[in-house]
Chain A
């Protein structure tokens, strides 16, 4: 039997992927994929028609009606296509070739494939440790690639958040910051570097992200959010990461995000202490349910005045990134209705319950309906928070 098989095998023309590529480029080639549908779904050659081996006798006449036409068959590694070529020859096809090494060899030579699930071969490779996880998979990775996330602040918290969201393949990352990179930032703001001191943080962050992952589109909002622009900025995003350095921005963002029903992953850091929570409008409490009014200045010192352990930014920023990814995937239990405190000196986590406030002026039961004409009109937050200590 073995010797008979070898004899038959010599009768089928085998061609290398580069030869197949040249013939396909030249046109007038019928290209047949002799694998199973799920393999075809993952990746196939452009123009390849699927004819699974078990269905060849039934389907080949439709896929390749002209028995005299040049016909190239391929499969995963070259075996099934060879057998299919024998079968076709027996059916009277005159000019059949099998591609040696199959689509594996084709891809190893850097030739392009169509990935029906929307991921390129490079993406399959880059995100393979994600797609191996049942909680992510290809579908979850595609959600990440299609997600639009806005980071408020490209500094202490924004830097590690941006780093991991970019690495994870979040397709669009918006960055709001009006500051430039300063040497004193570099102890914790890991996406900036010494060479980029003096550069706008949004630009520095974009350069970093582009170097890390070409799949990510970075949108720079080099400025400060205020009542006049916040709705038009945040409406373009699926969710928002709040790493703002001041109370006026935090309250403004809360009110606007509740209005547009955008989830906000909020964190803050000071010294050796950090807090993080996730606010999903009307599903859980909002920032004002937790903190109805900002504290006075003496209770709201800034990192620049009080100092912050650099790695705290990394701890809390990556917790924020984790929340974002769970929200995008729709998996796990985000920190909705929970405030997580982290104290770095003792390495201790504390979780507190946060409840919706029925009296909340923004998301409570009797919160005023604001007419369309007043959308984007907010109270004077700077006055409201006067003395509440931004970090400027």
Chain B
């Protein structure tokens, strides 16, 4: 099973855990396994068209899946999928 790194803003929807294991042969399947397990994450990851929301970056290990094959990018058990929305916290 691949490992998914959950960003802090989504941990409320995953019971607080920073990492979850998920099964799937490509990035899309792995993320769908996550949303099946934690349904509250779905609206924040995927738009109504079924594509990833543009404000969510997804990396396979250290590479943006958009420069790979997107949601079709193949995933193996030793891979880590990183979900990364922008953060703005800083000054206050």
Chain A residues within 8 Å of B, Cβ to Cβ: 152-158, 177, 179, 185, 242-247, 250, 267-273, 275, 290-296, 298-304, 306, 308, 339, 341, 343, 345-346, 350-355, 389-392
- Are A353 and B63 in contact, CB atoms less than 8 angstroms apart? yes
Measured CA separation A48–B18 after assembly (Å): 67
Q: Across the interface, which residues of B come within 8 angstroms of A346, CB to CB?
A: 18
Which residues, 76 to 91 on B, are CB-close (under 8 Å) to A?
A: 82, 84-91
Q: Across the interface, which residues of B come within 8 angstroms of A296, CB to CB?
A: 55
Q: Give the interface residue-count category, chain B.
A: 20 to 34
Q: What are 13 inter-chain pairs, A to B, with CB distance below 8 A?
A: A245-B90, A245-B91, A270-B8, A273-B8, A275-B87, A293-B55, A295-B53, A300-B86, A304-B92, A306-B89, A350-B82, A354-B64, A391-B90
Instruction: Choose one: B8, B9, B84, B91; the contact of A244 (CB below 8 Å).
Output: B91
Q: Across the interface, which residues of B come within 8 angstroms of A244, CB to CB?
A: 88, 90-91
- Are B85 and A295 in contact, CB atoms less than 8 angstroms apart? yes
B59, B64, B82, B87, most chain A CB atoms within 10 A: B87
Q: In the complex, what's the smallest C-beta–C-beta distance from A178 to chain B, in angstroms?
A: 10
When C-beta atoms are compared, the residue in chain A nearest to B43 turns out to be A298
B49 at the interface (CB under 8 A from A): no
Q: Across the interface, which residues of A come within 8 angstroms of B86, CB to CB?
A: 247, 250, 268, 290-291, 294-295, 300
- Are A390 and B88 in contact, CB atoms less than 8 angstroms apart? yes
Measured CA separation A391–B91 after assembly (Å): 9
B23 at the interface (CB under 8 A from A): no
When C-beta atoms are compared, the residue in chain B nearest to A184 turns out to be B92
- Are A155 and B87 in contact, CB atoms less than 8 angstroms apart? no
Q: Across the interface, which residues of B come within 8 angstroms of A270, CB to CB?
A: 8-9, 87, 89
Instruction: Choose one: B9, B67, B91; the contact of A177 (CB below 8 Å).
Output: B91
B18, B54, B64, B89, most chain A CB atoms within 10 A: B89
Measured CA separation A153–B84 after assembly (Å): 23
- Are B89 and A391 in contact, CB atoms less than 8 angstroms apart? yes
Q: Across the interface, which residues of A come within 8 angstroms of B67, CB to CB?
A: 355
B28 at the interface (CB under 8 A from A): no
Measured CA separation A389–B62 after assembly (Å): 28
B56 at the interface (CB under 8 A from A): yes
- Are A300 and B9 in contact, CB atoms less than 8 angstroms apart? yes
- Are B88 and A353 in contact, CB atoms less than 8 angstroms apart? no
Instruction: Choose one: A158, A293, A298; the contact of B91 (CB below 8 Å).
Output: A158
- Are B82 and A391 in contact, CB atoms less than 8 angstroms apart? no
Measured CA separation A94–B85 after assembly (Å): 82
Instruction: Choose one: A158, A294, A301, A352; the contact of B82 (CB below 8 Å).
Output: A352
Q: Across the interface, which residues of A come within 8 angstroms of B84, CB to CB?
A: 275, 339, 341, 352
- Are A271 and B64 in contact, CB atoms less than 8 angstroms apart? no
Chain B residues within 8 Å of A, Cβ to Cβ: 5, 7-10, 18, 44, 53-57, 59, 62-64, 67, 82, 84-92
Measured CA separation A157–B62 after assembly (Å): 25
Extra pairs beyond A290-B57, A299-B85, A345-B18 (15, CB < 8 Å): A153-B91, A155-B92, A243-B91, A245-B90, A269-B89, A275-B84, A295-B55, A296-B55, A300-B85, A306-B8, A350-B62, A351-B62, A389-B88, A391-B88, A391-B91
When C-beta atoms are compared, the residue in chain A nearest to B63 turns out to be A353
Instruction: Choose one: B55, B63, B90; the contact of A267 (CB below 8 Å).
Output: B90
Q: In the complex, what's the smallest C-beta–C-beta distance from B12 to chain A, in angstroms?
A: 10
Q: Across the interface, which residues of B come within 8 angstroms of A156, CB to CB?
A: 89-92
- Are A308 and B89 in contact, CB atoms less than 8 angstroms apart? yes
Measured CA separation A7–B89 after assembly (Å): 76
Instruction: Choose one: A243, A291, A341, A352; the contact of B55 (CB below 8 Å).
Output: A291
Measured CA separation A273–B5 after assembly (Å): 12
Measured CA separation A145–B18 after assembly (Å): 42
Measured CA separation A302–B90 after assembly (Å): 9
- Are A268 and B87 in contact, CB atoms less than 8 angstroms apart? yes
Q: Across the interface, which residues of A come within 8 angstroms of B44, CB to CB?
A: 298-299
- Are B91 and A302 in contact, CB atoms less than 8 angstroms apart? no
Q: Across the interface, which residues of A come within 8 angstroms of B55, CB to CB?
A: 291-296, 299
